[in-house]
Chains A and B, each alone.
Chain A
Amino acid sequence: MLQNPRPQTSVTLAITPDALFAVQTRNDGGRLAIVKSGSEAVPPGCFTDGSVTDPQHLGRTIRTLWHRLGFKERAASVVLPSGLCALRAVRLPALSAPERRPVVRGELEHVGALPFRGGAFDFFWVEEATSGEVALAEAFALYTHDEVVTGIRSVLRYADLRLATLEPMSVGVLRACALAAPAEGAMAVLCLDDQAADFCILEAGQVRYLRRIPSGWADLQAPGAGAPDAPADATTAVPHVVPFLVTETLRSVAYYSRVRGSSPEPAQLVVPAVPADFNRLASIFHEAAVPPISAINPQSAFGVELLDPAQPPSTLPAQLLAAIGTGAAAVGLQTGIPTLDLAQDDPVTHVSNPWSAALPATVGASLVWLLLAFAGWSALTANADRAENDRQLLTGRTVEMRAKQAPLLLQEQLQERTRTLQATSNLPVAALLGQVASATDKEISVQNLSVGIDGSVTISGEALTADAVQRFSYALAMGVTLREPRIDTLKQDLPDRATFRIVGKIVPGTTLVKNTAGGS
């Protein structure tokens, strides 16, 4: 089966609030070679309370350092300061390798060290000597928050780099110590940070014991911290006390000797420190019954220049050694101390963060939705404008048409009014005259015919006989124009002469029919 070849060179970054350090390492046939190293000041404001607050700015700073040192690597390992991770030891039954990680996570979650399905951790698995029938093991777990890992990842993303491994500082220091001073027996390493120290015992180059002591350089450098050469001022004199770090170190050595009775006691206590700090530390430890203390620093052990020799910070040797040690693991050097990667993929945490998976789809879909909404808004606005323009055009034409039609409309209305007036007033007198003419015979002489405005008709005249008058009246009644004719008066003045008067009524009626065919 093919395996991923280890890179020939690797770059490891140590990031502190003041500066970032880069060390390029190479595997020269099983020997560690330091190719390049350099540092860059961290811009103020990138760190707040130990966490990265401006990853973009810090990423640009890393990029600057990358270009300055001429690195070609696309990935980097990062050393995590001890203050950003915690350590806890968990005693468990001996387990097979695949079972260990879920069980250790369960224990850490159970004690509240890790949030449920969250956090990042890795561990050293140390098998203990079989006691009775149950084989026991101790897991020394180092863990940190998701935000720390995410912050480091984001910094490297802004620097166009990929995070290869994220290893706690003390692990890198242990590996560097194992490389620099390989010992057959046991060796204790005290890796000091500002606020904490990791105490470790290596036996034949392998981790046997690890614990966190909540005391660091800051406690040792406090006035009256027990140093015999501290200024003895009469007014500010502080009673000589054995520092907490020393007592805890002694207690740890004693505990290890008691629990691991068959294991050899550490022959020396190695502390990464510059000479000035080491002298101060040695003076504090000199009265305690600890193994002989010795210093290790990157300059003496690996020939790496201290980057600020004038006044190097106390943690600088440990950080550089950690970068060297982590870089040694990155190029595949076998030291007996496995890589302890806090940034490794953990399927459990992947399940616990569905938001990360949903984020690109959500944002992408939202963008598409916004684009569609914008397109819809544009189309609707354009259509609304077009409809409004059409309506205004149509309104103008309607007004124009109404203006053109107004005279015709007025004429039609006045015609209709005239028609109404005529229908109520016109009397059919021509038809009446025709009816009278047709009803008149030789014995009738109509001398007077009057039609009143109310339609009342009076016909008077002379006749030869009364019978003629009756026939005349009857004939009038047969017509349709004169309604209800009746003989009002009839006088037989002479035998051959009678005068008469017939009254009746005609109804006003229109003779006009609207010309539906129209006209111009």
Chain B
Amino acid sequence: MFKFLSTLTSKQQKLVVLTVPTLTLLLSGGTVLPAWERYDQAKRKLERQRAEMAELIRNLPKPDASRTYFVRNDAKESTMFVREITAIARGAECDLASLSAPGSQDVRDAGKSGGDSPWYISPVTVQVSLIGTYPNVRRFLSGVVNSRRVYSITGLDLRARWNAESGSLDNRVSAQVRLDRYVAMRARPSGKVTPSTGNETLPGMK
């Protein structure tokens, strides 16, 4: 090629000397700069993805497994609830008289879980009637508070009982405990939640 270049006239050589570096610069700039931008963009995206991954690993969800905060609202839920309350009452040496839902009060709040999740937390109010000594009732309440499943005690009505045989106050009291249990339920497409009936009565209760 240099042999060919030496055959050019001085004007052609001048043209080549001026145009070849210019074209070279333009060509190299036109190829290298877009490649650099593409590389830089890809690198930034990769860094963002790495940071997102690190954030994901750093903020791993750690749900509390020591307690049962809510139970999915299915057919077994009410049975499990009655069984646990019965066990607590039995442990507190209280007689469980009745267990009923107060009707319209059963759903006070429907807390959405957040994000796009269709799951909601709904408190289901239950009224438990039981008979026992004052310390036993207190033990029952402590048992409810410290049970594995989470409940909220939202009301209490404690009354002394009259013993007609002895003509004096009985050492046992009747207590009506109002408590909430929490169930998780799915929202309907309309956005309304499906509350549990919460009306469970154990056969043979006093």
Most chain A C-beta atoms within 10 Å of own C-beta, residue among B17, B21, B43, B151: B17
* CB-defined contacts of A401 to chain B, threshold 8 Å: 53, 56-57
Most chain B C-beta atoms within 10 Å of own C-beta, residue among A55, A158, A409: A409
Total interface residues on A, using CB and 8 Å? 84
Contact with A along B1-27 (1 / 0, CB 8 A): 111011111100110110011011101
In the assembled complex, the Cα of A118 lies from the Cα of B10 at a distance in Å of 10
- Provide the main secondary structure of the chain A interface: helix
* CB-defined contacts of B43 to chain A, threshold 8 Å: 383-384, 387
Q: With A408-B61, A453-B155 given, is the CB distance from A418 to B182 under 8 Å? A: yes
In the assembled complex, the Cα of A447 lies from the Cα of B169 at a distance in Å of 9
Flag whether A429 is at the interface (Cβ < 8 A): yes
Residue of B nearest to A419 (CB): B69
Flag whether A474 is at the interface (Cβ < 8 A): no
Q: With A388-B42, A453-B178 given, is the CB distance from A515 to B32 under 8 Å? A: no
Flag whether A381 is at the interface (Cβ < 8 A): yes
In the assembled complex, the Cα of A416 lies from the Cα of B170 at a distance in Å of 43
Flag whether A263 is at the interface (Cβ < 8 A): no
Interface-located stretch among B75-83, B93-101, B157-165, B193-201 = B157-165
Contact with A along B44-77 (1 / 0, CB 8 A): 0110011011001100111111110110000000
Residue of B nearest to A158 (CB): B7
Total interface residues on B, using CB and 8 Å? 82
Instruction: From the candidates A355, A362, A418, name the one contacting B69 in the complex (CB within 8 A).
Output: A418
Q: With A157-B3, A362-B16 given, is the CB distance from A519 to B157 under 8 Å? A: no
Interface-located stretch among A23-31, A225-233, A364-372, A479-487 = A364-372
In the assembled complex, the Cα of A46 lies from the Cα of B35 at a distance in Å of 46
Assess the A370–B13 pair: CB atoms within 8 A: no
Instruction: From the candidates A150, A418, A515, name the one contacting B8 in the complex (CB within 8 A).
Output: A150
In the assembled complex, the Cα of A153 lies from the Cα of B13 at a distance in Å of 15
Assess the A421–B56 pair: CB atoms within 8 A: no
Assess the B61–A411 pair: CB atoms within 8 A: yes
In the assembled complex, the Cα of A429 lies from the Cα of B16 at a distance in Å of 98
In the assembled complex, the Cα of A158 lies from the Cα of B3 at a distance in Å of 8
Instruction: From the candidates A146, A372, A422, A520, name the one contacting B182 in the complex (CB within 8 A).
Output: A422
Interface-located stretch among A70-78, A390-398, A488-496 = A390-398
Interface residues of A in 440-468 (CB under 8 A from B): 445-453, 461
Residue of A nearest to B40 (CB): A384
Assess the A365–B50 pair: CB atoms within 8 A: no
* CB-defined contacts of A241 to chain B, threshold 8 Å: none
Flag whether B104 is at the interface (Cβ < 8 A): no
Q: With A369-B28, A398-B53, A405-B61 given, is the CB distance from A426 to B8 under 8 Å? A: no
* CB-defined contacts of B57 to chain A, threshold 8 Å: 401
Instruction: From the candidates A359, A395, A433, A446, name the one contacting B13 in the complex (CB within 8 A).
Output: A359
Instruction: From the candidates A394, A415, A447, name the one contacting B63 in the complex (CB within 8 A).
Output: A415
Q: With A359-B17, A377-B35, A450-B158 given, is the CB distance from A387 to B45 under 8 Å? A: yes
In the assembled complex, the Cα of A420 lies from the Cα of B1 at a distance in Å of 83
In the assembled complex, the Cα of A377 lies from the Cα of B39 at a distance in Å of 10
Contact with B along A393-437 (1 / 0, CB 8 A): 011011001100100111111110111111001110110111001
Flag whether A239 is at the interface (Cβ < 8 A): no
Flag whether A135 is at the interface (Cβ < 8 A): no
Assess the A380–B28 pair: CB atoms within 8 A: no
Assess the A370–B28 pair: CB atoms within 8 A: yes
Instruction: From the candidates A154, A381, A388, A451, name the one contacting B35 in the complex (CB within 8 A).
Output: A381
- B104 CB to closest chain A CB (Å) equals 13
Assess the B20–A376 pair: CB atoms within 8 A: no
- B39 CB to closest chain A CB (Å) equals 4
Flag whether B38 is at the interface (Cβ < 8 A): yes
Flag whether A147 is at the interface (Cβ < 8 A): yes
Instruction: From the candidates B5, B150, B182, name the one contacting A359 in the complex (CB within 8 A).
Output: B5
In the assembled complex, the Cα of A519 lies from the Cα of B65 at a distance in Å of 5
Assess the B56–A405 pair: CB atoms within 8 A: yes
Flag whether B167 is at the interface (Cβ < 8 A): no
Most chain B C-beta atoms within 10 Å of own C-beta, residue among A118, A410, A421, A453: A421
* CB-defined contacts of B9 to chain A, threshold 8 Å: 146-147, 150-151
* CB-defined contacts of B25 to chain A, threshold 8 Å: 369
* CB-defined contacts of B2 to chain A, threshold 8 Å: 360, 363
Flag whether A279 is at the interface (Cβ < 8 A): no
Flag whether A512 is at the interface (Cβ < 8 A): yes
* CB-defined contacts of A376 to chain B, threshold 8 Å: 32, 35
Flag whether B205 is at the interface (Cβ < 8 A): no
In the assembled complex, the Cα of A433 lies from the Cα of B142 at a distance in Å of 10
Q: With A363-B1, A373-B31, A430-B145 given, is the CB distance from A519 to B66 under 8 Å? A: yes
Most chain B C-beta atoms within 10 Å of own C-beta, residue among A154, A390, A429, A450: A429
Flag whether A1 is at the interface (Cβ < 8 A): no
Assess the B113–A363 pair: CB atoms within 8 A: no
The chain A residues found within 8 Å of chain B, CB to CB, are 55, 118, 146-147, 150-151, 153-154, 157-158, 353, 355-356, 358-360, 362-363, 365-366, 369-370, 372-374, 376-377, 380-381, 383-385, 387-388, 390-391, 394-395, 397-398, 401-402, 405, 408-415, 417-422, 425-427, 429-430, 432-434, 437, 445-453, 461, 511-512, 514-516, 518-520
What are 28 A-B pairs with beta-carbon distances under 8 A?
Answer: A150-B9, A359-B6, A359-B13, A359-B17, A362-B20, A366-B24, A373-B27, A384-B42, A394-B50, A405-B56, A410-B113, A411-B61, A411-B63, A413-B115, A413-B117, A415-B63, A417-B113, A421-B152, A422-B150, A422-B180, A427-B153, A427-B154, A437-B135, A450-B155, A450-B157, A453-B154, A511-B145, A519-B65
